[in-house]
Amino acid sequence: MDYWIEVEQGVRIYVNDINPSGHSPILFMHGWPANHHLFEYQYDQLLQRGYRCLGMDVRGFGQSDKPLYGYDYNRSADDIRCVVEAMTLNNFTLLGHSTAGAVAVRYMKRHEGYGVSKLVLCAAAAPSLIQRPNFPYGLNEMAVTNIIQGTYRDRPDMLRDFGEIFFHNKVSEPFASWFLQMGLQAASWSTVQVAKAWLSEVLFDDLAFVNIPTLILHGIHDRVCLFRLGVAQHQGIKGSIFVPFKNSGHGLFYDEKEKFNDQLMRFVG
């Protein structure tokens, strides 16, 4: 079922509640620059096993509204809260990939994990996507600057290049085209504003506020959110489960989809 939920005046967020009567609800949060279709190969398996899967397009992406503002992590976390309340979600698993993984961590602090019983972070951009004076494990700032400049210069070309480093294993040409089209469904300004947020957002303190069962999945060949970020998340979240993916890059949900789906179902129960 399709929903458009108003999170503030004039801004609606799209949610696809694929199996409303299913068990163990999972709210899937996609990363930049995609949309909820990113998890197609999870839906394929989970729906057959009776899970309730909810795919949310974050603001500026997919079928959600695309305002010129509101792309910092606090506002993104507030959007999740509005969706959770509107959908009356409770005792659900929150799954965040990449930037959405970072936003999920912020949600746990800012909204005290409202409604969430389990958290899954996959290739998450926490505690910092880029290098900091006290954290040398992220990307250098120029890598993000190049993405921003590339968006302004030739967004399709930038997205194509990003797609080439997203997966560790070679994908087919039709698959690469499908991935590119997801990115093109976003607004150019939202594509830039999220990238700019990477330069300022940090979650070193937020990690300590995660106090529910947490599964961390991270590809060792990740060239976007480097593997050391997953290690830092595991160190910062007490009692978390950390599963490295030895044959995966940033798109571990496709690079090793069978392992990913198995780990997710084992964890959610």
Cite the active site residues: 98, 222, 250
Using alpha carbons only, give the angle 255, 258, 261 rounded to the nearest 5 degrees: 105
211 CA to centre of own chain: 20
- The DSSP line for 123-163 is S---S-SB-BTTBTTSB-HHHHHHHHHHHHHHHHHHHHHHH
245 CA to centre of own chain: 17
| Residue 33 preceded by cis peptide, ω within 30 | yes
- The DSSP line for 202-225 is --TTGGGG--S-EEEEEETT-SSS
The two tokens of residue 158 are 């930038």
Torsion of CA 227, 232, 234, 237, to 10 degrees: -150
Q: Answer yes or no: are the C-beta atoms of 14 and 56 closer than 8 Å.
A: yes
| Residue 133 preceded by cis peptide, ω within 30 | no
Which residues are 116's β-sheet partners?
92
Antiparallel, parallel or unpaired: β 92-97 and 214-219: unpaired
Q: Answer yes or no: are the C-beta atoms of 87 and 115 closer than 8 Å.
A: no
